[in-house]
Structures are given as C-alpha cells and as structure tokens.
Amino acid sequence: MIAAVLVLGWAAPFGLVALLPRGGGAGFYAVMAHNLMVAIFLPALLLPMASIGIGLVRCWREVGQAVRASPI
C-alpha cells in the first residue's frame, strides 16, 4: 500500500505536466521547458541542503557546548 502511494505520488506531477501545452522551443525544450525542469528539480536541491543545514546546526550545538566547557 505504501509503495503504491509513493509511486502514484511521484508519478502524479509528471502526469499533470504531460497535460500542459507544449512549449515553442527546439529539440528537448519542445517537450519540457526549462522552467518546468527547474520546478521539478529545485526540491531535489533544496531538501538535501536543508537537511545538511539542520544537521550542521544540531552538531554545532552539541559540539559547541562541549568545546566551550573545556579549557584551551
């Protein structure tokens, strides 16, 4: 059940994109416009960057307290 929901959730945006009118570009851009590719892949960039940022903040808080407590 979970696999079906994940597959449908991943496929739905691409299915909706197929219903959009085609762009006037040449070659590959006639099928998928640049702005559409940015909209699809931007979350693939931002979510890992946010995860790394959250991890760095958590690590900094944990390590930073230990460093301040020890004499240098």
Number of domains in the chain: 1
How many Å apart are CA 59 and CA 66, to the nearest integer? 11
The sign one gets for the Cα dihedral 22, 26, 41, 46 is negative
- pLDDT value, residue 49: 94
| Structural domain range at position 58 | 2-69
**pLDDT tens, residue by residue, 16-60:** 777 777 666 777 777 777 888 888 889 889 999 999 999 998 998
- pLDDT value, residue 55: 93
In the predicted model, is pLDDT for residue 67 greater than 80?
Answer: no
Task: Give the residue from 44, 21, 51, 43 showing the smallest Cα distance to 33.
Answer: 21
